[in-house]
Each structure stands twice: as structure tokens, then as C-alpha cells.
Amino acid sequence: MKILVADRISQAGLDRLRGLGCDVVCSPDLAGEALVRALAESDCRVLMVRGTKVTAEAIRANRQLSLIVRVGAGYNSIDVRAASAASVMVANCPGRNATAVAELTLGLILALDRRIPDNVADLRAGKWAKKEYSKALGLKGRTLGIVGVGRIGERVVLRALAFEMNVVGWSRSLTPKAASGLGIVRVETPEDVAACSDIVSVHLAANADTNKLIGEAFFAAMKPGAYFVNTARAEVVDHEALAQAIREKGLRVALDVFPNEPDAHDTVFKDSIVKLDGIVYGTHHIGASTDQAQDAVADEAFEVVKEYSATGNVRNCVNLSVGTNPKGVLVVRHRNRPGVLANVLGELSRAGINVREMENVICEGEEGAYAQIRLDSEPSSDVLTRIAKSDENILGITLTAAK
């Protein structure tokens, strides 16, 4: 199996992939049109990327491509809709960089409170301002609000509690029992987090439900002079509303993500939010960029490719169909012989019935087998009769309602 690696991955990671017997081509500087050309000229089945953007044009350039692996947690740099339309699976590596992001989050909170970047800048400029920088509230006893209590949010909780902070949290999936187990207080809405917190940290995934979820109403609920940290995704924050809150409420802000970040080959940063008057700090989207995190993510990416190479299953697949249930499940018990399922599928096709999913399991001894075929519509009794008679090796069929 041929793999195109269009980003920087450790040599150890590349060697492990080659150890699977894969033909690995590493071109870490591919981007934009160069990536499109490389895919058009390649017969790779797997594309691996970290920060490189994978467009619809790039996906369509290679008809052999069947899997894109994002060597990281987020996958908004990949046109997932185009991948799905081309029957290309997309997988990510969730949770493996959670500790690194949590560490940066606490670092940014400390930086906001103690104004560490400004301290350093003045010292380098030859200015001594101890009186100015001695003004800090401290973290002990203050309330940290977390919006998005997933893998990263949970690790932030652990570190905040070690600083003797009070923690409140909100997630759609956060239950009172889970909150109690973490030692935090669950609130009902993101705006409730904003209203009761001295410091807010965002850890939401970027999707249609979270797009600009942190907006005007959220910032209106925040306390004047409160701290706001986003190490998640820029898309979850309305940056115009954030800029207004900085100007009007004196929020202290630290961001690791921005709406229009330069790509991997551009060194010019143009976002004006970091130039606003007040205390606004930024880092270069480095939340996951520790050696520990990158090694862990590379290990997970290897496991994705290993399982796909061995079984065809896609671990951590993010573009499986959800929300539409099959209309029925056809179970076919049959002898383990060539052509049996081809005859079954032929009858379904002639009846205009689409197969959503199918699994064929071989029984012990390899003489018998049974197939579970999930259908978009229920076959009539006549179609079932034709299927039962389509091959002498069919031992029995059953149609059940889908759960």
C-alpha cells in the first residue's frame, strides 16, 4: 500500500509505516497546487497530513485515494464533504495531544495574570517596571469556567484544581454525575459559564453546532476585566464580538488560534486583534506542539494505518453516515462458497434496493457463514423469495426491522 506523507512526521514514524510493508513517500513541503499535482501523479491509497490543507480539488486529483489521516485531533483543514462524495474515508487522532493543549492553556492563564510577555518585552527593551508588574490577582480561589469538557477540558480541570481554583463547566454531554466526578460544578449554558467565571477557557470542537457559539451574548455575560483563553478552534468564536468586548469590557485575552492563520509556508501574520489596546496575547497555534504530543499522535496515526492495511476498517473515522437508519436488515445464512452474495446483491439491485452496509461472518470450520445486509428499503415477499432461490448454497434468510 502506497502512502503519501504531505507534512513533517518523525523519522521513527516513517520507519514504522515502512515496517508494515507500505511504500511511503514523504514530501513535507507539499501545499496548494503542489499537493494537487502530487496526488494527480501518485497512485497512493493513503494521504497523511498535519496542518496541510486538503481541498476538494486535491481529493479529486487521485482516484486511488481511499483514506486521509489527519495526524492530529482536529480535521477542519480537510474538505470532509468532498472526501465523502469521493468515498474517501477521513480519520483523525483524537485525545493524544490533550495534555499538551492543557499545559499551554494553563501557561496562557498564568501569562495573563502575571503579564509575563510584557515583563519580558520591557526587560529586553532595558526597562525596569517592578511596580507595574507587581499587580496580579493570583489564581488561588478564582473561578475558571470551561466551555467544552472533553478530553482536553478534563485535563485543564485537573491542573486548575492543583492551583486551588474553583471550576465550573458546560458541555452538551456533561452530566451532573460526570461533573461531580471531576470535582467541578455543571452549569446549564455557555452564558452561565461566562457570567460566573473570572477566567474562561474554550475547548470546543469546530462543527456546525459550535460555529461562533462564543459570540455577543457570551461576551456580554462575562465580568469586566475577566480573562478569556481559546486554545481550541477559531471558528467557535465570533472574533468581531471578542474585539468589541476587549475594547468595552477590558477583557484580558490569550489566543492560540486565529480565523485566518498563515499556511505552513507563509510567515506573515495579519490578524489585528493582537494589536488592540489592552492585554491581548497570542501564540502560533502550538497547543499540540510538544515532542510528547507529536510522538503520541504519530503512534495513533500508525495504528490507524495498521488496522486499515490489515482489515480495511478505519479507526477514528470522522465521516461515517449518521442519523439515517436502514429500513431493514436482511440476514442470509449460507454455505461459504464463491458467488453466493453476488447472487443476493444481484436480486437486490434488480429490485432497486440499495445496500447501506454489509457484514459477512465466517463460522468456525469455515463451512458456513451469515451475512447481515442493511437496506435502504424493505424488499417485498416476492424479492425475498427470489433471493432465497438465487443460489443453492443459501440455507435461509430473515428480514428484521432495523434498530
Residue 323 in this model has a pLDDT that exceeds 60:
no
CATH of residue 42: 3.40.50.720
Of the two residues 208 and 334, the one the predictor is more confident about is: 334
Residues 129 and 226 in one domain: yes
Residues 282 and 296 in one domain: no
| pLDDT at res. 325 | 66
Give the residue among 303, 357, 311, 322 at the shortest CA–CA distance from 69: 303
Mean pLDDT of 108-131: 97
Q: In the annotation, is 233 catalytic? A: yes
> Is 317 a member of any domain?
no
| pLDDT at res. 207 | 87
Mean pLDDT of 21-32: 90
Active-site choice (96, 115, 233, 239): 233
Task: Give 401's pLDDT tier (boundaries 50, 70, 90).
Answer: low
Residue 403 in this model has a pLDDT that exceeds 60:
no
> Is 318 a member of any domain?
no
Contacts of 129 (CB under 8 A, 6+ apart): 122
CATH of residue 379: 3.30.70.260
Give the residue among 52, 50, 54, 144 at the shortest CA–CA distance from 97: 50
Residue 110 grid cell: 498564568
Residue 204 grid cell: 470546543
Runs of H (alpha helix) within 222-314: 239-249, 291-311
Residues 153 and 206 in one domain: yes
| pLDDT at res. 265 | 67
Mean pLDDT of 223-247: 97
Query: Domain boundary at 287, 320, 342, which?
Result: 287
Q: Looking at 47-56, 183-192, 194-203, which range is the least confident one? A: 47-56
| pLDDT at res. 259 | 93
Residue 330 in this model has a pLDDT that exceeds 80:
yes
Mean pLDDT of 60-75: 92
> Is 226 a member of any domain?
yes
> Is 201 a member of any domain?
yes
| pLDDT at res. 73 | 83
Q: Looking at 22-31, 60-69, 126-135, 258-267, which range is the least confident one? A: 258-267
Residues 186 and 217 in one domain: yes
Residues 103 and 119 in one domain: yes
Active-site choice (151, 285, 356, 374): 285
Q: What is the pLDDT of residues 266-322, one digit of tens each?
A: 788 989 999 999 999 999 999 988 989 988 988 999 999 999 998 888 999 999 887
Q: What is the pLDDT of residues 144-173, one digit of tens each?
A: 999 999 999 999 999 999 999 999 999 999
Residue 189 in this model has a pLDDT that exceeds 80:
yes
Active-site choice (57, 261, 307, 378): 261
Of the two residues 357 and 201, the one the predictor is more confident about is: 201
Residue 399 in this model has a pLDDT that exceeds 80:
yes
The answer to whether residues 314 and 362 touch, using CB atoms and an 8 Å cutoff, is no
Residue 324 in this model has a pLDDT that exceeds 70:
no
Residues 40 and 90 in one domain: yes
The answer to whether residues 323 and 317 touch, using CB atoms and an 8 Å cutoff, is no
Distance, CA of 17 to CA of 147 (rounded, Å): 37
Task: Give the residue numbers spanning the domain of 252.
Answer: 98-287
Residue 402 in this model has a pLDDT that exceeds 60:
no
Residues 78 and 196 in one domain: no
> Is 316 a member of any domain?
no
- What's the structural domain count of the chain? 3
Residues 42 and 104 in one domain: no
| pLDDT at res. 264 | 65
Does this model's pTM top 0.85? My answer is: no
**Considering the chain, what is the average pLDDT of its residues?**
93
Contacts of 104 (CB under 8 A, 6+ apart): 231, 256, 283, 286, 287
The answer to whether residues 39 and 61 touch, using CB atoms and an 8 Å cutoff, is yes
Task: Give 9's pLDDT tier (boundaries 50, 70, 90).
Answer: confident
